[in-house]
Amino acid sequence: MGNKATIGSAVLDRLHRLGVRHIFGIPGDYVLSLFQLIEASPIKHVATTREDCAGFAADAYARINGIGAVCVTYCVGGLNTVNAIACAYAERSPVVLLTGSPGLSERTRTPYLHHMVRDFSTQREVFERMTVAAVTLDDPLTAEREMDRAFAALLRYRRPIYLEIPRDMVHTPLTGTVRPICIEDEPSDPAALEEAVGEVRAMLASAKRPAMLVGAEVGRFGLQDDLAQLVERMNIPIASTLLGKSIIREDHPLYVGVYGGLIGREEVQQFINDSDCLLILGSILSDVEDLDSRSPLLSEGRTIHATADRVAIKHHRFESIKFQDFVHALVQAPLPAFPLRKPPARSVAAPSRPDPDSPVTLEGLFRHLDTVLTDKTLVIADVGESLFAAADLHVRHRFEFLSPAYYTSMGFAVPAALGASFADPSLRPIVLVGDGAFQMTGTELASCVRYGQAPIIVLLNNRGYSTEREILEGPFNDVHEWQYENVFKLVGGGIGSRVNTQREFEERLAAAFADQRRPHLLNVLLSPDDRSPGMVRLARRLGKKLSTDKP
């Protein structure tokens, strides 16, 4: 880095060393100096149409690459990213939010500067609630230590951090003793780790029907290979949460399906709940996609639950064990192997092939989509039927599945395709998005065209918010009809088409796959009454929860 490092260059140097090759965002006067530094660095700036889209793109980039970054201006830009950063925090996606602020010198002359909300610290205070470290780098003596503290927290917890640089400090040389980058976390307590693994062995020794439930953190820490090795050595059945879908390939003989409080198939729920020992790795407990907090598995102390926050075995909590160390220790430990338990059979028989000239349905669409996915396709599902129908897709080989399945923020998928394409250009994004979600962030197709990306957008057009319709019908769930297939005329590139029948869907999708150079959008006209099995399951279970809210 050299002795001439500045606060701004030191931050960019660390980002690059940690694997950031692209940074998403929109310029503004408080970050123009930062953007100038980015242009001179090995990191490429990727412009977006909105700041929240930059946040979603950086989130998807981080889920594939291991770290992502977004750079936006003070308050009017930063506060626009709040929802995207909140999503990244909730779902453990390591995003760096880099922002500017008024210069220290101008604050003394003018107490009120443009973009301010309440005082100069307001933006940082907002992000303190949704990051694992929020620092203002305003002192060249302490800046290096502060940024390293933030990066260490990002690596420890795989959650967002906030770095603010006042604009007159970007080019300020570091005046402390310039030292090597030091962002490694403290190792796990060896005695605690040994004790925890011993307790796991004791639980498994007395188990007859153990099972495993895995979530997205396994992927965030890059532990997929360790997971597969552990599962195969122990020969125990494994389910994934919806957020963790594709952590293990879904044609694996030990995989039983997606488990979740509101979305999982009944037979998968029952199979996992009947376990006498459940090993939960990298999954938070939530209503949408995980173990019910009232489950006997929890109350009777039949769970081993490990996340980046803690390791809990029965009712014993270990705070000094790192998640990845615990998983590695399990892989190396002499754990027992079990007789094969037959996975649950699907309760509903596979449907027959639809008439090619009949109106396209969710069932026919997803049945066909399931046959054309490869290890070179990446499914990105937005919220609503896009997600709930996709829950029953079969993820094969190394292909990934991205969705805000826990936080469930609409508008994630199209900007996520932008970020994912930069993170791994070898994968072709298949974006599943509803008409309501597309109207929120579909402008990011312009960025895809600008940068020569070619996602395939399957727009599920059922003229409204289908999840809300299923829970409580009302005109407030309707969406104004757009001519979505014409969006590329406005954007200036890409191919749009209108799909009415099953045959048209299969033909348009094949044409999109054959064209690797341009983005395609399929405006799939669906009946507003069409429902996937996943949506029906979710609405039925959620409806029971909401029944007490009705007057």
User: Residue 436 corresponds to which amino acid?
Assistant: G
List 164's β-bridge partners, or say none: 99, 136
β pairing state of 377-381 and 44-47: unpaired
Nearest to 365 by CA among 384, 392, 346: 392
Residue 369, classified by CB atoms within 10 Å of its CB into exposed (0-12), middle (13-18) or buried (19+), is buried
Scan for tokens 């360790």, then name that residue: 226
Q: What is the pLDDT of residue 2?
A: 44
Q: What is the pLDDT of residue 246?
A: 86
Instruction: With beta carbons less than 8 A apart as the criterion, state whether 356 and 506 touch.
Output: yes
Q: Please count the other Cβ atoms lying within 10 Å of the Cβ belonging to residue 311.
A: 27
CATH classification of 190-332, choosing from 3.40.50.150, 2.102.10.10, 3.40.50.1220, 3.80.30.20?
3.40.50.1220
List 135's β-bridge partners, or say none: 163
Nearest to 268 by CA among 360, 341, 331, 339: 341
Instruction: With beta carbons less than 8 A apart as the criterion, state whether 154 and 160 touch.
Output: yes
User: Residue 40 corresponds to which amino acid?
Assistant: A
List 390's β-bridge partners, or say none: none
Instruction: With beta carbons less than 8 A apart as the criterion, state whether 141 and 113 touch.
Output: no
Query: What is 362-545's CATH number?
Result: 3.40.50.970
Instruction: With beta carbons less than 8 A apart as the criterion, state whether 387 and 396 touch.
Output: no
In angstroms, rounded to a whole number, what is the distance separating the alpha carbons of residues 284 and 241?
10
Q: What is the pLDDT of residue 399?
A: 54
In angstroms, rounded to a whole number, what is the distance separating the alpha carbons of residues 34 and 27?
9
**Under DSSP, is residue 133 helix (H, G, I), strand (E, B) or coil?**
coil
Q: What is the pTM of this model?
A: 0.90
Q: Give me the residue spans of the domains in the chain.
A: 7-166, 190-332, 362-545
Same fold across 7-166 and 190-332: yes
Q: What is the pLDDT of residue 179?
A: 60
In angstroms, rounded to a whole number, what is the distance separating the alpha carbons of residues 255 and 335?
19
List the pLDDT tens digit at each of the 551 positions of the chain.
445 799 999 999 999 999 999 999 999 989 999 999 999 999 999 999 999 999 999 999 999 999 999 999 998 899 999 999 999 999 999 999 999 998 877 777 777 666 766 677 889 999 999 999 999 999 999 999 999 999 999 999 999 999 999 999 999 999 866 565 666 667 899 999 999 999 999 999 999 999 999 999 999 999 999 999 999 999 999 999 888 888 888 888 999 988 876 677 888 888 988 899 999 999 876 655 455 555 666 666 788 999 988 899 988 899 889 999 999 999 999 999 999 888 887 655 556 678 888 999 999 999 999 999 988 999 999 998 888 888 878 766 555 789 988 888 999 999 999 999 999 999 999 999 999 999 999 999 999 999 999 999 999 998 877 777 666 677 777 788 899 999 999 999 999 999 999 999 999 999 999 999 999 999 999 988 888 887 777 777 666 656 555 55
CATH topology of domain 7-166: Rossmann fold (3.40.50)
Q: What is the pLDDT of residue 1?
A: 41
β pairing state of 303-306 and 311-313: antiparallel
Q: What is the pLDDT of residue 289?
A: 47
